[in-house]
Structure 1
Amino acid sequence: MEYIDSFVIENERFFYFSLEKIINENPKLEKLPLSLKILLEANIRNSKNELTTKKILDIFANRKDEFINFYPSRVVLKEYTAIPTLAELAKLKEEKLKSKKLNLSVDLLLQYMKENEDTYKLAKWCDKNFSNLRVIPPGSKIIHPINLEYLSTVLHIEKIEEKFLLFPETIAISDYKDNMTNSFGVLGHKLESIDALATILGLPLKIKLPKVVGIKVVGKPKDGVLSSDFLQVLLDVLENANLDEKIVEFYGDGLKYLTLENRTKILNKASSYKALCSFFAIDEKTILYYNKTRQNEDFSKLVDKYLKTQKLFLNEENNLEYDESIEFDLSNIFPRVMPNLKNEVFKDKNIVLSLIDTSNGFLNPFLIIHCALVAKKAYEKGFRIDSKIKAFFKTDLTVYDYLANLDLLKYLEGIGFYFVNTNGKIEEKLSPNILTDCSISSGTLENNYINENIKLNYTMSASLVVIHSLIGSMKLKVFDKLNPNELWPEHSEVLRYLEKIDDTLYKDIYKNIFLGNEKWQDIIVEKSESFPWNDDSSFVQVFPFKEESFKDKINIENGEILALFNNEIKTKYISSNIQITPYINVANFLQEKGVKSFDFGTFEDRRGCSKLMVLGAFDTNEIKNMMVSKEGAFTKDFKTGEIISFYEKSKRVHQSQKDLIIIADENYGIGETNDWAAKATKLLGVKAIIAKSFGENHRKDLIKMGILPLQFIDDDIKSLNLKGYESINIKNSEIKKDLKLDAFIYKGEQIYQIKLKLRLDNEFEIQIYKNGGLVPFILKDIV
């Protein structure tokens, strides 16, 4: 089965895994959605043998509910996932890794990271010491589409044995709300923090073959309907559909009315409609946008050639087969004016506050120019906003400048809009009496603005904000000779202005993207084999990596109980991101390092400090260990009778070379996945957790940290009358799926034998546990 093919462009030969050859052998694959074809190509390209290839082809051809791999070519990390991952990476480099090149390209988006010398130094050191890692530093002038055209290549080129191999770029991103690449054909998948380090080291993400819902966009919008009108209707449709963990793939001739900026808005909301991701294949609009923002037409030709050869280019004559289909007709949409609170009803009230806001990161030139042209026509007809209305245009200098360059800025200012910088506060511009008994405010360009002091708040397109501001009320009517239809620009007129925007707009956005703020620039780091750790830091500290021996059997002997928990222990309480208070174990640690209580900050700020996160684990009033009378991370040392912290108990048990066990009732670890909930448990020395049931995400995270999840079958804490002084033996000569094993509980002279179910639910989880966790598993291959 030889699937490699090639083509020549610009006198250079490029190789690729041919989907055409694959499909010729397996015709059922021809009608796969484009997103699945991208996954198919990656799995075939990375297949190690013919048997694996046959299994992959069978899974895709028959759409089986089985595991495949997601192979990212690039990883994108945001601030609070990046710092602990970088700390672990730096520690690995000095202990295990010899290469300065990571398995994958890594982008760190740190533009909103709080100023701190320790975290700045760590990020800058990694930037300097790993060749395929790049940092967008704090203070960068940045807009969300950075995840679109600037960092993305769309097509990945890898040189193997003097040959250039092409394949689609795919990304794994830690904060999926910021994943915009799916809007132009780069398939992205959410990266959980606990998976970040292993993924960077080359371990693919294990996922079930996703179901794909096709959204066919048809029709042409009515006159007066803007993308901000039909976007909300589309989002309502998606939120009411059953899209849980499915890929949502868009196609149809109506897509030409959705700009890339519109598409990013849909992607940004994927979590609200519970989809695995949304996906727009590349089309001519994408290529044009890419040309304009990257100024690399040669590479665009290569992208175009590859995608069309592989039939991954968006085709209006779509004959692909989706698991489900939904049709969305743009011609059925009308201009929308929406109350911002659910209990509001439409009322014709006078407007006192108008706001157009482009500051939430979605730069949509079409909508901005459209509203500016409405203002232009109004200005030329002599209309002005009543001085009683406070009208604001909130944006950054980039938008301000290009409106000025297009000679449109003066019209918005001329009719009565005041420009406010992105970080400016509208309330500071209002006099106190304005906010006492006002009746209504009109809304924003891309997001909802609600002022709690104004009785009614409405959201609409930016152009309608201009119209209603001129009318002075919420009723669309001819008022003082103002006819809204006469102010509405033609679609073609907006496009003419868009064509005037040259690539200097994008150059201005990104010209200083790697510069950073002054504090970042002042940090000096050198190339070195190891990072210069600061032992006094409470922001960046990491424990050394422990060697994990391979386990081919289960052997927990004389296990001591760390805690007995009741039902519903949530991950957000096992490890929280909240404010650090002066009354918990972490406070003493910080004070010993000279940190004043008013500078404690949050756990989220200090996620890069392993010891702090371990000290803070379980330490909340929301958690109570049934072994003691107080809340938080406290337990009992039955040898001395002392009430001590989890951390102190961990140290004592480690010295005696025994294992620690946590026992819980139902729903242990429910809630969202939380890397430190599992990491801190591991670092406390916990070898196994026995519970009546687990939160599924946390169960998987425990395995990734090498912790054994075991489930009660007929017993529980109450029936066994556990107090916490007992010792436990759990042994079995093999590790396999659906295993039921014996546990022996020693209560003084009494011995209780119970059955437990091993919660390693598939072969992948078994291999991860046997190797001691996710990172040791991948390190065995690397080292």
Structure 2
Amino acid sequence: MPSLDSLDCRRSLEVAGKTYHYFSLPEAARHLGDISRLPASLKVLLENLLRWEDGATVHKKDFIALANWLKKRSSNQEIQYRPARVLMQDFTGVPAIVDLAAMRDAVSRAGADPQKINPLSPVDLVIDHSVMVDHFGSDRAFQENVEIEMQRNGERYAFLRWGQQAFDNFRVVPPGTGICHQVNLEYLGQVVWTRDENGDTYAYPDTLVGTDSHTTMINGLGILGWGVGGIEAEAAMLGQPVSMLIPEVVGFRLTGKLQEGMTATDLVLTVTQMLRKQGVVGKFVEFFGPGLDNLPLADRATISNMAPEYGATCGFFPVDQVTIDYLRLTGRDESRIALVEAYSKAQGLWRDSNTPDPVFTHTLELELADVVPSLAGPKRPQDRVALSDIGASFDLLLETTGKRQQAETAFEVKDEDFPLKHGAVVIAAITSCTNTSNPNVLMAAGLLAKKAVERGLQRQPWVKSSLAPGSKVVTDYLEKAGLTPYLNQLGFNLVGYGCTTCIGNSGPLSEPIGQAITDNDLIVSSVLSGNRNFEGRVHPLVKANWLASPPLVVAFALAGTTRIDLSREPLGFDDKNQPVYLKEIWPSSSEINAAVSQIDGSMFRRRYANVFDGDKNWQAISVGTGDTYEWNADSSYVQNPPFFEDIDKPAASPEDIEGARILALFGDSITTDHISPAGNIKANSPAGLYLQQLGVAPEDFNSYGSRRGNHEVMMRGTFANIRIKNEMLGGEEGGNTLYQPDGEKMSIYAAAMRYQSQNTPLVVIAGKEYGTGSSRDWAAKGTNLLGVKAVIAESFERIHRSNLIGMGVLALQFINGQTRQSLGLTGREILSIHGLSADIEPQQTLGVTIERPDGSHDTFEVLCRIDTTNEVQYFKAGGILHYVLRSLIK
């Protein structure tokens, strides 16, 4: 921490007989003016700058800009932020460690010490994205799924174990433990971090970036963190600061309390809808108001988790007594708890009823009593639907897809004694992340299951049901409350501790059900307690996907359809043929509170005592040694990527893009799932054909997410989502395009390779919200490897824009009200982009020339979304990792 301390604000704090040094915000205020009403999230940024002041990357003017933020409630000042640590999951973590291994190779080839490539900040990788729901509905489902997981992913896990011994400051939480966000919330997160330096102990806010967009969940604990792409996280590991503009902060005032029967899921879907409507992309959201006193920590974490769904960088809750109570509940050390309270109060980061409201850029307000039971779907998490309207919403979907006349038609299922209809719930998953972090809704699900069983109800036979908690502690408290047997009776047996259905690892449907869906083009539903329901994500055969609370997941498994109004229609009938309504078996708040009160700190201490050890399967993995990785040319999972092949040569200067072809023409809300799928690999896709050429059978394909360590798979999977629509092909779904100039239809990958063989640069054109969703670095890496030089869109989601620049791909934004439609783009045009050969500046305007098929020419302007001076340097170097690597080699 090389602080010049120009404001003379270094002070000490005595807590429980120990001295901690810190950089005092109240002392800094003596020089900067009153900052007491600065949002708490910005106070955390200010402390970070005070601690890292070096006169080179952090200057006094940065402090002044943050203090002056209060006057304009915004700032265009670029700052260099250094988070305390990095969090990764395995889908994004494996390619990140592959990159580090490749960088070590490059450094070694350049004659330098490969040990230069080492994380300088603590890095924790939690393996949670790989387990699939192959088996369900039995007591053996968990064990069987774990065995298959280890068999499928042994090569990846061996690679991670090599990384664990090869890199400093790098820990791996083995599979079968929990999801990264839950482990972070229950164990890794400290709220106040400490570090020993030159015999002194420094205390400072716990901050992080993570390679999963839902890293934001930790903000519910008062820890500032957000998702970044793997390439940005790798740079942060290697000591590169996160370059950012001081953000706008939207205040979200909460008042009152939730009504009886409302859940955190109902609340977060309401908040998500409100904030998407407000528009908070690239902004911080900070929650305040008297309603926080009635909001448990788990509910706060649920709201923070879904920040990517409402588009914000983070959704921050300040530290208060609720934070302290949660730290104590989860078995944190008492000395750490005492430090958190003392430090937060000393720094003006503590919230209570006497705290004046901060000043915000904009403010929204929600009376918690106005929240009603809700789901979201069928394609986006921000599309909230009241529970009472779900049936009508599905009927509208049938109307728009031309299937309304088939609404009541029952289609035969081979070898089964039940038919399938449109709207049938074929997947009901209590899945990790948003909701299995929350004991209130999990206990509610268990209590509802108990009452349903006692009334003689069962899940419908066509429903694939599963329970995948975010933590082993969930299993403990459900068992202690006596609710596990009832969940099991309804088919919600434990299937694994991981993301499962929400990341697309829902596993196969039974062959007869899958065949009935395919043969009759049925629109069937999934209901899951996750946070993502984008097209093609949950399961390739399920077109309507609904986010819901865990108790509603159980309810829809009983009903078996989403063409129903559960507020007035019965779930089913008891053994006396009497209707059973949802309101009759919905647990009361007092019942839920009584169940939750049985949770205690000993559960957490026991489960996390040996969190890094893993089971016998993990410990039995053979581990390679050495500073550099021994690549296996025959591996289908891990390959040395081509990104750093010419790193010992000077970077080529940026040049204008001449004669580019349009690879694809997309509409609005193209997600990173569309660009780089995580789930199923089709046998006849470019990636599937490549794997079969390697001798991999389709049943052993695993998923795109698990194959991210192999660039050959991932570049073939880029834009290969089965639901993506390239407007060059009308309304047709699938990752295809028309190769120009002859208009031949082929896969986007095949066209890109043909263009590359002719040295033809490529561009992608899109509408609004390009790159929403997961912080998926392969959405940018794959775009780069296909030869795409620029993406021109109406707007970008924060993380994907950053990832594109980090991979040397231009992110360009339409301006002056122009769009692909207003410019009449069809995909047959040739584009040239000018203004790159001169000195590039942040957010400059560039000119684009259109050459149309008839030989006519038009021009238009775009905004170059290289937003900061650091990003200019990264782009000139060919990408952020190239910039860092060249610096290290020098």
TM-score (norm 2): 0.67
Asked if residue 505 in structure 1 is aligned to residue 505 in structure 2, the reply is no
Asked if residue 362 in structure 1 is aligned to residue 436 in structure 2, the reply is yes
Q: Which residue of 1 aligns with 2:391?
A: 343
Q: Secondary structure at the match of 1:29?
A: coil
Contact 1:94/1:529, CA 8 A, preserved across alignment: no
Asked if residue 159 in structure 1 is aligned to residue 196 in structure 2, the reply is yes
- Cα-to-partner distance string for 1:91-131 (whole Å, 9 max, x where unaligned): 22343341474122212121331532221111111122223
Give the Cα–Cα distance (whole angstroms) in 2 for the partners of residues 149 and 23 of structure 1. 34
Q: Which residue of 2 aligns with 1:435?
A: none
Q: Which residue of 2 aligns with 1:140?
A: 177
Higher normalized contact order (CA 8 Å, seq sep 6+, divided by chain length): 2
Decide which of 658, 661, 665 is 2:761's aligned counterpart.
661
Contact 2:752/2:786, CA 8 A, preserved across alignment: yes
Give the Cα–Cα distance (whole angstroms) in 2 for the partners of residues 523 and 576 of structure 1. 28
Q: Which residue of 2 aligns with 1:212?
A: 249
Q: Which residue of 2 aligns with 1:33?
A: 39
Give the Cα–Cα distance (whole angstroms) in 2 for the partners of residues 634 and 327 of structure 1. 45
Give the Cα–Cα distance (whole angstroms) in 2 for the partners of residues 588 and 373 of structure 1. 47
Q: Which residue of 2 aligns with 1:422?
A: 494
Asked if residue 631 in structure 1 is aligned to residue 759 in structure 2, the reply is no
Aligned AA (2:280) = D
1:271-670 matches, within 5 Å, as 271-323=308-360, 324-330=362-368, 339=387, 341-343=389-391, 360=432, 362=436, 364-365=438-439, 385-387=454-456, 401-402=476-477, 405=480, 409=482, 420-423=492-495, 445-449=550-554, 450-451=556-557, 453-454=560-561, 456=564, 458=566, 473-474=580-581, 494=593, 501-511=599-609, 513-516=611-614, 519-544=617-642, 545=644, 546-547=646-647, 554-555=654-655, 563-565=661-663, 567-568=665-666, 575-577=676-678, 579-583=680-684, 585-587=686-688, 589-617=690-718, 621-632=735-746, 646-647=752-753, 650=756, 661-662=761-762, 670=770
Give the Cα–Cα distance (whole angstroms) in 2 for the partners of residues 229 and 726 of structure 1. 51
Decide which of 52, 59, 62 is 2:59's aligned counterpart.
52
Q: Which residue of 2 aligns with 1:640?
A: none
Aligned AA (1:763) = T
Aligned CA distance change for structure 1 residues 519 and 721 (closer, same or farther; 3 Å): closer
- Cα-to-partner distance string for 1:343-392 (whole Å, 9 max, x where unaligned): 369xxxxxxx9x9997655254456778999999x9xxxx9944467799
Aligned CA distance change for structure 1 residues 742 and 457 (closer, same or farther; 3 Å): closer
Q: Percent identity?
A: 26
Aligned CA distance change for structure 1 residues 627 and 575 (closer, same or farther; 3 Å): farther
Q: Which residue of 1 aligns with 2:25?
A: 19
Give the Cα–Cα distance (whole angstroms) in 2 for the partners of residues 598 and 54 of structure 1. 58
Question: How far did 1:767 drift?
Answer: 1.7
Give the Cα–Cα distance (whole angstroms) in 2 for the partners of residues 689 and 366 of structure 1. 46
Aligned AA (1:513) = V
Aligned CA distance change for structure 1 residues 3 and 357 (closer, same or farther; 3 Å): same
- Cα-to-partner distance string for 1:181-238 (whole Å, 9 max, x where unaligned): 111111111213442322322333333333333344444667xx25x44762564255
Aligned AA (1:631) = K
Asked if residue 232 in structure 1 is aligned to residue 266 in structure 2, the reply is yes
Question: How far did 1:38 drift?
Answer: 0.7
Aligned AA (1:421) = N
Give the Cα–Cα distance (whole angstroms) in 1 for the partners of residues 183 and 440 of structure 2. 18
Question: How far did 1:244 drift?
Answer: 1.6
Give the Cα–Cα distance (whole angstroms) in 2 for the partners of residues 678 and 590 of structure 1. 22
Contact 1:119/1:540, CA 8 A, preserved across alignment: yes
Q: Which moved more, 1:135-144 or 1:4-13?
A: 135-144
Question: How far did 1:735 drift?
Answer: 3.8
Contact 1:291/1:297, CA 8 A, preserved across alignment: yes
Contact 1:71/1:204, CA 8 A, preserved across alignment: yes
Contact 1:262/1:364, CA 8 A, preserved across alignment: yes
Question: How far did 1:259 drift?
Answer: 1.7
Asked if residue 706 in structure 1 is aligned to residue 801 in structure 2, the reply is no
Give the Cα–Cα distance (whole angstroms) in 1 for the partners of residues 50 and 716 of structure 2. 45
Aligned CA distance change for structure 1 residues 720 and 389 (closer, same or farther; 3 Å): closer
Give the Cα–Cα distance (whole angstroms) in 1 for the partners of residues 831 and 445 of structure 2. 72
Give the Cα–Cα distance (whole angstroms) in 1 for the partners of residues 185 and 116 of structure 2. 29
Contact 2:752/2:787, CA 8 A, preserved across alignment: no
Give the Cα–Cα distance (whole angstroms) in 1 for the partners of residues 371 and 814 of structure 2. 54
- Cα-to-partner distance string for 1:322-359 (whole Å, 9 max, x where unaligned): 323445445677999973652369xxxxxxx9x99976
- Cα-to-partner distance string for 1:417-436 (whole Å, 9 max, x where unaligned): 878523399xx9xxx9xxxx
Contact 1:158/1:165, CA 8 A, preserved across alignment: yes
Give the Cα–Cα distance (whole angstroms) in 1 for the partners of residues 244 and 834 of structure 2. 34
Give the Cα–Cα distance (whole angstroms) in 1 for the partners of residues 747 and 487 of structure 2. 61
Contact 1:579/1:601, CA 8 A, preserved across alignment: yes
Aligned CA distance change for structure 1 residues 99 and 305 (closer, same or farther; 3 Å): farther
Question: How far did 1:14 drift?
Answer: 1.8
Decide which of 875, 881, 885 is 1:769's aligned counterpart.
875
Asked if residue 79 in structure 1 is aligned to residue 90 in structure 2, the reply is yes
Q: Which moved more, 1:280-289 or 1:451-460?
A: 451-460
How many residues align? The count is 715
Contact 1:730/1:744, CA 8 A, preserved across alignment: no
- Cα-to-partner distance string for 1:717-736 (whole Å, 9 max, x where unaligned): x9999999999999846444
Decide which of 4, 20, 37 is 2:10's aligned counterpart.
4
Q: Which residue of 1 aligns with 2:379?
A: none
- Cα-to-partner distance string for 1:430-461 (whole Å, 9 max, x where unaligned): xx9xxxxxxxx9x965553424645636389x
Aligned CA distance change for structure 1 residues 647 and 448 (closer, same or farther; 3 Å): same
Give the Cα–Cα distance (whole angstroms) in 2 for the partners of residues 373 and 646 of structure 1. 54
Aligned AA (1:362) = T
Q: Secondary structure at the match of 1:520?
A: helix
Aligned AA (1:448) = V
Aligned CA distance change for structure 1 residues 508 and 566 (closer, same or farther; 3 Å): closer
Decide which of 63, 74, 77 is 1:64's aligned counterpart.
74
Contact 2:103/2:885, CA 8 A, preserved across alignment: no
Give the Cα–Cα distance (whole angstroms) in 2 for the partners of residues 231 and 84 of structure 1. 32
Contact 1:31/1:320, CA 8 A, preserved across alignment: yes
Give the Cα–Cα distance (whole angstroms) in 2 for the partners of residues 649 and 694 of structure 1. 27
Question: How far did 1:609 drift?
Answer: 0.6
Question: How far did 1:541 drift?
Answer: 0.6
Aligned AA (2:101) = A
- Cα-to-partner distance string for 1:651-695 (whole Å, 9 max, x where unaligned): x67xxxxx6522566769944475334323444566x44969886
Give the Cα–Cα distance (whole angstroms) in 2 for the partners of residues 163 and 362 of structure 1. 40
- Cα-to-partner distance string for 1:499-556 (whole Å, 9 max, x where unaligned): 6543332134435533445543321214411112111011111235131755695457
Contact 1:375/1:415, CA 8 A, preserved across alignment: yes
Q: Which residue of 2 aligns with 1:680?
A: 782
Contact 1:19/1:310, CA 8 A, preserved across alignment: yes
Aligned CA distance change for structure 1 residues 384 and 186 (closer, same or farther; 3 Å): closer
Q: Secondary structure at the match of 1:76?
A: strand
Asked if residue 111 in structure 1 is aligned to residue 148 in structure 2, the reply is no
Contact 1:398/1:508, CA 8 A, preserved across alignment: no
Contact 2:266/2:549, CA 8 A, preserved across alignment: no
Aligned CA distance change for structure 1 residues 191 and 573 (closer, same or farther; 3 Å): closer
Question: How far did 1:568 drift?
Answer: 3.1
Q: Secondary structure at the match of 2:391?
A: coil
- Cα-to-partner distance string for 1:147-172 (whole Å, 9 max, x where unaligned): 20211122222233332222101121
Aligned AA (1:547) = I
- Provide structure 2 residue ranges, at least 5 long, that are not aligned to the other structure: 1-6, 108-113, 131-148, 376-385, 394-424, 497-505, 514-526, 528-547, 721-733
